[in-house]
Structure 1
Amino acid sequence: MIENLTISISFSEVEEAHVGNYFHLSEMSGEFLIIQKPDNTFYFLCSNDCDIVGICQSFDWYIVSKDAFNDRLIIGIGLSDKESINGELYRVQDETTLILWRDILRFTFESDFVRQFFPYNTHFKGKMRIDGALCFYIHDYYPTRCKDISVFDRKTSNLVFRFKEGRQAALVAKIFSLCIARMPFFKEKAANAVLIPIPAATRERNITRFARFCSLLSHRLKVVDGFRATWIKEDREQMKGTHGQDKLSNLIFHPDYFKGRDVFLIDDIISSGENFTQMKRKLIQLGAKSVTGLFLGKTVKSENQK
């Protein structure tokens, strides 16, 4: 059996993470190989008797997918913490096994073969000002009417759709936490911040999309969860991308959540910016100190829209 159990971890975070397994990796059962990448992703291949979930939890790493590779091995991909590392953590039978497992992981996750159809970017792609407020977005987003788009852009669309359905709250919360935590504005405002989503069109969609997501992200960032800062008193037709309509008429605001605070106003997609503008102005009017916009994607306009 050969092994490398040396791994980097931020000791400033030790008290906040469940790092017990970090001190007992040599006692973990089974064989495993974890390849860490500089973009915060990690791949793993391990035997069925290896507690890969325990290992990852000990470093506060998030497992995106975990599947059976064969009747003896499990393969998967995840996102690590904000400290980018390039290296390996392993215990395997011999050098031949190590080389084989490396090749399996690199073929699965680094070749043109697409196993998991999501993007894992952990940096904001762009920024802009909307109504004077600084806004950041992670991906370019092409609407469904755009057919001739790249594989990566289709991955983005897939992540957006799954997030809207409430099926990838934990993954998107992890991605946002990595993007936000490394930004200067977060370090300046974190102690006084509240996270508020731009409400969806209906109560059901709003709860499905944002309730768990806001809870997870606010916990990761250690900011106030402002999901209940607004309440939908009646459902309305979807108005995203429209102009000149009052998009807040069906909302009740609870200023106690955000009065005097720096608001991180978050949504899946920014299109015309009108939803954001109306929300931002209302929050400031009711006492918010500042508003920063955070978005999973920014709609790319077609040529005839420019």
Structure 2
Amino acid sequence: MSTRNIAVVGSGYMGGGIAQVLALAGARVALADVSAEIAQGNYERLLKESDEFVAAGLFPANATDLLKENLWAAKDIEEAVSGAEYIEEAVPEVLEIKHATLGRISAAARPDAIIGSNTSTISIAKLAEVVENPERFLGVHFSNPAPFIPGVEVIPHEGTSEATVQAARTIVGETGKETATVKDVTGFVLNRLQYALFHEAAQVVEEGIASAEDVDTLVRTTFGFRLPFFGPFAIADMAGLDVYAFCYKSLQTGFPERFATPKILQEKVDAGQLGTKTGSGFLDVPADRTAALVAYRNKAYVAMQKLIEELGPAPLS
């Protein structure tokens, strides 16, 4: 990324972390905020934080030097974005603040500069209303903490050009992150899934079925233990889609509406597409790859358990 000029507008916890990611990948990154003083203060915080991360073995040994070389605090938004090819907006989740900021960005930026918003909740189409040349605007949603979470949601609105989507994915990919492109709907995908789990967990605790501590234990030691390696569709394919359909029927005896069998699942089962055991399912993993997949799974789970034991329990109490 050494030839890229990028701006991050909003230098707080999320914006600062995103700026670190981009600068450590080699881009020249301008950091802007509501004032030059705040941008400079957060720039200095990011250097101090980098030193701490280096000492803890979380950043490479030369990280702080790279940040000093590639990251700089601009006097205002206009200076930060004037020469940038990509701009990441990371101001607070308030529509009025984002509209005002994006209006300033799009007025001062190059007409071909790509503008991404780190919003996690606000409609991308709604944000695009104040952006000049809205085809160059989309959501680029990093997760907290940005330096250490590898996934990034890319969210085009209906007017976003395909070239913009591909360029944004390329830029994010150059940092070593993985991108997933999703549609501009309420909650996008990340938060829709995350809050669905929390909603069910909260009901379990409210109904007195288990304590919050026991729910957390079950999630992190059972199905959550699989998630660093496999998403829900890979897990379902390996378990057997017919098994999933049967379990839905069992759940419906207690929660008929909440656990209605998904249409897409029933269609797969009716077509005999039962996952890895038939060589076709959601991901269409060939049956002759099952043995290698099982071997990888077992190795991954043992390695994960060893890592957890090495780290020790999280300091929650």
- Greater fraction of residues in helix: 2
Decide: shared fold, TM above 0.5.
Answer: no
- Greater fraction of residues in strand: 1
TM-score by length of 1: 0.27
TM-score by length of 2: 0.27
Which one scores higher on RCO, CA 8 angstroms, separation ≥ 6?
1
Looking at CA atoms only, which structure, 1 or 2, has the larger radius of gyration?
Answer: 2
